[in-house]
């Protein structure tokens, strides 16, 4: 630390910094991004990048009731930073329990929540900092805090309702509104927090003063995102029921009779699993006992789309019924709709080019595919949705040898002029 009376001894540093970089005096001269795991910080340093991700933000304070639907949440692609002077970062503040959390922790003293609450405890004890001038040049923006009682907030609420109620909202206006929503936050609001209580980690909801964070955000340019080659697609994630139990019982010995029986189980199904409907629009990937079907939805050809959906449902039933006939438990799957965006130009990377080694060894590495990045699964929200729903199992009501259909599949099909009728009793629709 440099004391004020000592600063004149290093005029080259003080003059250069204040003239060329920073003119902030009453707030921090750097922005901090906090993380709760060391590996996140290591990844940022190794990759020399902080990657934006979608964060759910509460916007119930705007009371956006549009067409009878109340919109309380918004997912914002962002990376957030705080503008807190370093000596204030560890200052404790009070958190208030919501009524729901009070019921959850009736025996917990609410006053204890004010002990040890500071920015690192809420957002992580690892951080990386950047000068404000650097952040300005990279288009970071301080967010706008709203007082829910102010005339400005009420007027903004009415403008949002009026705009989003229009049937034909110009793209430029829609992008502007979303950009505004991405940079709004209430003065105070709810947030999730984990606490230690009776030797357990319990998730509670608290009310926090957000204004104290003095948040800045990096919001990627929406026009750049729109220019991504987004592809509409269906995806089915399916896996064999009861497949893991034999491995568990045999202590994961693949040579055991139980494990070999699993291999025999897949061998009996492999021809049906690899049965493809459309070689141009469909791709199939297998992973142990699970397999994925992806299908690019064709433009202006609803009959091809319906044909693929119908055949995929029939194939699911054929494989599941065959597995049950063979004495096993059948197949469970989830069909979902979404979009995918290819962010790496080739399907496979590596082949030795990026490995730092000698030329003779590089030739050996060139014969091996090191990283597989199939374009069909890059940033594929249909696959993510199907996998998460299926993996959630009974928590989401997904159980038994059935095929569950995301309601968006039905909506996409009917909006394209088609109509799906499940051809057998085992097909069920499942709202995401």
CATH number at residue 280: 3.30.70.1230
pLDDT for position 325: 95
Measure the CA–CA gap between 3 and 101, rounded to whole angstroms: 46
With cut-offs at 50, 70 and 90, classify the pLDDT of residue 242: very high
Do 102 and 242 fall into the same domain?
no
pLDDT confidence of residue 404: 94
Instruction: Cite the beta strand spans of 210-317 per DSSP E.
Output: 215-218, 230-240, 282-287, 290-296
- Asked if residue 289 and residue 175 are part of one domain, the reply reads no
Same domain, 208 and 247: no
135 and 263, same structural domain? no
Task: Give the residue numbers spanning the domain of 239.
Answer: 228-343+378-430
Residue 421: per-residue pLDDT: 43
Residues 305, 191 share a domain: no
| Inside any domain, residue 300 | yes
- pLDDT for 432 equals 36
pLDDT exceeds 90 at position 362: no
pLDDT above 70 (res 348)? no
Q: What confidence tier does 107 reach under pLDDT thresholds 50, 70, 90?
A: low
More confident: 46 or 366: 46
pLDDT for residue 143 is more than 90: yes
Total number of domains in the chain: 2
8 A C-beta contact, residue 332 and residue 398: yes
Looking at the structure, tell me whether residues 194 and 259 fall in a common domain: no
Mean pLDDT of 272-288: 90
Q: What's residue 48's pLDDT?
A: 85
Q: How confident is the model at residue 430 (pLDDT cuts 50, 70, 90)?
A: very low
How high is the pLDDT of residue 394?
Answer: 79
DSSP codes of every residue in 21-57: T----SS-SEEEEEESSHHHHHHHHHHT----EEEEE
DSSP, collapsed to helix, strand or coil, labels residue 179 as: helix
Of 87-96, 142-151, 254-263, 362-371, the range with the lowest mean pLDDT is 362-371
232-236, 287-291, 375-379: which has the highest mean pLDDT? 232-236
Quickly state the pLDDT bin for 361 (edges 50, 70, 90): low
The yes-or-no verdict on residue 354 having pLDDT over 50 is no
Q: pLDDT averaged over the chain?
A: 81
CA pair distance 258, 265, nearest whole angstrom: 11
363 is a domain residue: no
Matching residue, tokens 């910080």: 41
Residue 264 shares a structural domain with residue 389: yes
Burial state string for 318-334 with b = 16 or more CB within 10 A and e = fewer than 16: ebbebbeeeebbbbbbb
Q: Is residue 405 part of a domain?
A: yes
Domain match, 137 and 251 both: no
Q: How many residues does the chain have?
A: 432
Mean pLDDT of the 109-127 span: 71
Do both 191 and 263 map to the same domain? Answer: no
CA count, 13 A, side-chain hemisphere, 5: 0
Residue 96, domain member (yes or no)? yes
Residue 313: inside a domain, yes or no? Answer: yes
| 125 vs 116, higher pLDDT | 125
**Number of neighbouring beta carbons within 10 Å of residue 143:** 19
Choosing from 166, 190, 225, the residue where a domain stops is 225
| pLDDT range class, residue 381, cuts 50, 70, 90 | very high
Which range in 106-110, 342-346, 349-353 is most confidently predicted, on average pLDDT? 342-346
Mark which of 188, 208, 225 sits at the end of a domain.
225
| pLDDT value of position 225 | 61
Any idea which of 76-80, 317-321, 409-413 has the lowest mean pLDDT? 409-413
397: left (phi over 0), alpha (psi -120 to 50) or beta: left
Structural domain includes residue 159: yes
Residue 17 has pLDDT above 60, yes or no: no
pLDDT of 172 above 60: yes
The answer to whether 250 and 226 have CB atoms below 8 angstroms apart is: no
Tokens representing 164 are: 């989003």
pLDDT in tens, 30-61: 999 999 889 889 988 888 888 888 888 888 88
181 lies in some domain: yes
125 vs 22, residue with greater confidence: 125
Domain closes at, from 180, 200, 225: 225
| Residue 423 covered by a domain | yes
Q: What integer is the mean pLDDT of 21-29?
A: 80
Residues 22 and 125 in one domain: yes
CA distance 245 to 148: 54
Q: Are residues 233 and 219 in the same domain?
A: no
pLDDT-derived band at 211 (thresholds 50, 70, 90) equals very high
Pairing label, strands 144-146, 184-186: parallel
Q: Kindly state whether residues 151 and 232 are assigned to the same domain.
A: no
Q: What's the rounded mean pLDDT across residues 86-94?
A: 83
Rounded to an integer, the average pLDDT of 133-155 is 92
Rounded Cα distance between 1 and 319, Å, is 69
Q: With a threshold of 0.75, does the pTM exceed it? A: no
The CA angle 84-60-205, to the nearest 5 degrees, is 60
Q: What is the pLDDT of residue 240?
A: 94
DSSP code at position 368 = S
């Amino acid at each position: 630390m440099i004391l004020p009376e000592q600063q004149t001894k290093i005029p080259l540093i003080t003059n250069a910094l204040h003239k060329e970089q920073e003119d902030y005096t009453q707030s921090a001269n750097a922005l901090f991004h906090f993380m709760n795991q060391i590996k996140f910080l290591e990844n940022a340093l190794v990759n020399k990048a902080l990657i934006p991700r979608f964060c759910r933000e509460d916007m119930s304070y705007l009371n956006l009731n549009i067409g009878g639907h109340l919109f309380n949440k918004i997912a914002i692609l962002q990376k957030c930073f705080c503008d807190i002077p370093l000596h204030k970062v560890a200052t404790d503040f009070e958190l208030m329990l919501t009524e729901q959390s009070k019921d959850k922790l009736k025996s917990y003293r609410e006053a204890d929540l004010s002990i040890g609450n500071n920015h690192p405890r809420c957002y992580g004890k690892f951080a990386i900092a950047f000068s404000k001038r650097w952040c300005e040049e990279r288009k970071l923006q301080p967010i706008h805090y709203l007082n829910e009682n102010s005339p400005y907030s009420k007027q903004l609420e009415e403008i949002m309702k009026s705009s989003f109620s229009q049937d034909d909202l110009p793209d430029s206006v829609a992008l502007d509104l979303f950009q505004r929503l991405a940079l709004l936050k209430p003065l105070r609001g709810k947030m999730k927090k984990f606490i230690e209580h009776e030797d357990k980690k319990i998730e509670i909801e608290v009310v926090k003063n957000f204004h104290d964070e003095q948040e800045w955000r990096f919001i990627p340019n929406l026009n750049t995102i729109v220019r991504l080659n987004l592809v509409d697609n269906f995806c089915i994630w399916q896996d064999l029921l009861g497949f893991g139990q034999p491995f568990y019982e045999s202590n994961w010995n693949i040579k055991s009779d139980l494990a070999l029986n699993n291999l025999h189980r897949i061998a009996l199904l492999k021809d049906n699993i690899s049965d493809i409907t459309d070689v141009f629009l469909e791709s199939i990937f297998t992973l142990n006992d699970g397999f994925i079907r992806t299908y690019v939805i064709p433009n202006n050809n609803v009959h091809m789309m319906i044909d693929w959906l119908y055949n995929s449902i029939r194939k699911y039933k054929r494989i599941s019924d065959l597995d049950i006939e063979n004495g096993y438990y059948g197949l469970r799957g989830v069909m979902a709709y979404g979009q995918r965006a290819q962010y790496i130009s080739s399907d496979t990377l590596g082949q030795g080019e990026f490995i730092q080694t000698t030329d003779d060894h590089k030739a050996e590495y060139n014969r091996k595919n090191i990283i597989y990045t199939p374009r069909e699964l890059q940033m594929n929200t249909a696959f993510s949705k199907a996998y998460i729903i299926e993996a959630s199992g009974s928590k989401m009501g997904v159980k038994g040898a059935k095929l569950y259909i995301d309601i968006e599949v039905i909506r996409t099909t009917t909006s394209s002029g088609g109509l799906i009728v499940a051809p057998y009793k085992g097909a069920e629709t499942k709202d995401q």
